Amino acid sequence: MQSCRLFYSDDPVKIVRARGQYLYDENDKRYLDCISNVHHVGHCHPSVTKAAAEQMDLLNTNTRFLHDNIVLYADRLAATLPERLSVFYFVNSGSEANDLALRLAHQYTQHEDVIVLNHAYHGHLVSLIDISPYKFRKLTGQKEWVHVAPLPDTYRGKYKEDVLNAGQLYADTVKDLIEEVHNKGRKISAFFAESMPSVGGQIILPPGYSAKVAEYVHSAGGVFVADEVQTGFGRVGSHYWAFQLQADFCPDIVTMGKPMGNGHPIACVATTSEIARAFTDNGVEYFNTFGGNPVSCAIGLAVLDVIEKEDLRGNAERVGAHLKDLFTKLQSRHKIIGDVRGAGLFVGVELVEDRERRTPATTAAAQVVKRLKVEDRICVSTDGPWESVLKFKPPMCFNMEDAELVVRCIDRILTDMEANAKLGKEDI
């Protein structure tokens, strides 16, 4: 029984080296990488690898010893966040970060119950599978202390893009859920959500949603946890963190992971001094042997330097806007493109069999991904509840020419698929 599913499992690719936004196989064929958001500033960035090698050669030890790197790194991260998020816990993965966020919320509120969004995924630990509908519906089932709120999807959800106050209306579904929880004699510990749901289909939250949800959650005695594991560190372009796209809103806890080490295992939880104090006062210290070690923090500092020196936030904003514009123009020529959405270099293209009914075009999406790989050596994948959304989360060095190449190739493939469908050879 296969325990690990590969990309392109019917014809897997063996990658032996990488640089920037490009991957190279054992035959030295180059692939354009549109999906490796983990390698945030580009595969094998020389500044990052140099910082890692130099610090590894000098010292890498247990975090119970004093070392400047962890303090310097915490200061740099603090400068990108709202002032109230002033305490940092360093860990090794996004899953560890989200697990710790749950512990912080439980200890601070002295409540257990958690509200999550439908189709959410927050990590592979047992505690996180329990709050990930994407996983628990296939495995353990829903625990009584976990409550699932509707995904605020203005394309497929109850309140569509033509509803002006969709953010308020979706937030009210959380308010109603809180009332249901209270009627059962239970109390809310946390509302847990990705700042831009990824597995749910590259969703952009409607304006006003997070601030209103936070208001309801705080009134119930809970805290708001923003999962930035996939979306942080400038991916949205206009802001450093995706939660900042929501006006007048600051979460109580922020988790971060994948991008911060550019592939090296480092992650973090940022929270308020009040929440941290409640956690400390429980008499059980938090300790992580490798979290915040000198090498990890040196790599983290190097990643921040590259983001600033190479203006990768600006690049994400410019290239992402161009990519969305190109796809929007493509939408006018291909009826299969039902929706184009995104922020910065976080873009989703939803394929549908019928625009009016918005029927997911799952098979067609898989065909596009396969043909991009085989014919153009472009790596793209799908997401969403029906795997009908082409997702784009490339390294942040992804450029204008890359964007134009991807759209040009998809245009050709869709045109060909439409022609074949007319001849009865291919579904679309």
Q: In the structure encoding, which two tokens stand for residue 54, read together?
A: 């130099």
Distance between CA atoms of residues 183 and 178, nearest Å: 9
Domain range list for the chain? 15-33+311-422, 46-309
Short-list 350, 406, 340, 343, CA closest to 383 = 350
- Looking at 3.90.1150.10, 3.40.50.300, 3.40.50.2300, 3.10.129.10, the CATH number of the domain 15-33+311-422 comes to 3.90.1150.10
Distance between CA atoms of residues 184 and 49, nearest Å: 53
> Taken in order 94, 98, 101, 103, is the CA torsion positive or negative?
negative
Residues 6+ apart with CB under 8 A from 22: 30, 31, 32, 33, 43
In the predicted model, what is the mean pLDDT of residues 189-218?
97
Split at pLDDT 50, 70, 90, the class of 425 is low
Q: In the structure encoding, which two tokens stand for residue 2, read together?
A: 């296969």
- Looking at 3.40.50.300, 2.70.98.60, 3.40.640.10, 3.30.930.10, the CATH number of the domain 46-309 comes to 3.40.640.10
Q: With contact defined as beta carbons under 8 Å apart, do 261 and 293 qualify?
A: no
Per-residue pLDDT tens for 277-304? 998 887 777 888 899 999 999 999 999 9
Short-list 226, 208, 122, CA closest to 159 = 208
What's at 92, amino acid-wise? N
Residues 6+ apart with CB under 8 A from 219: none
User: Under the phi-then-psi rule, with left for phi > 0, alpha for psi from -120 to 50, and beta for the rest, what region is 56?
Assistant: alpha
Say what the pLDDT of residue 116 is: 98
Q: In DSSP terms, which residues pair with 193 in a beta bridge? A: 226
Per-residue pLDDT tens for 291-341? 999 999 999 999 999 999 999 999 999 999 999 999 999 999 999 999 999
Q: Among 57-71, 176-190, 209-223, which stretch is predicted with the lowest mean pLDDT?
A: 57-71
Distance between CA atoms of residues 258 and 296, nearest Å: 12
Q: In DSSP terms, which residues pair with 352 in a beta bridge? A: 360
Please calculate the CA angle 69-40-56 and round it to the nearest 5 degrees.
Answer: 35
Q: With contact defined as beta carbons under 8 Å apart, do 187 and 220 qualify?
A: yes
Split at pLDDT 50, 70, 90, the class of 136 is confident
Q: With contact defined as beta carbons under 8 Å apart, do 225 and 192 qualify?
A: yes
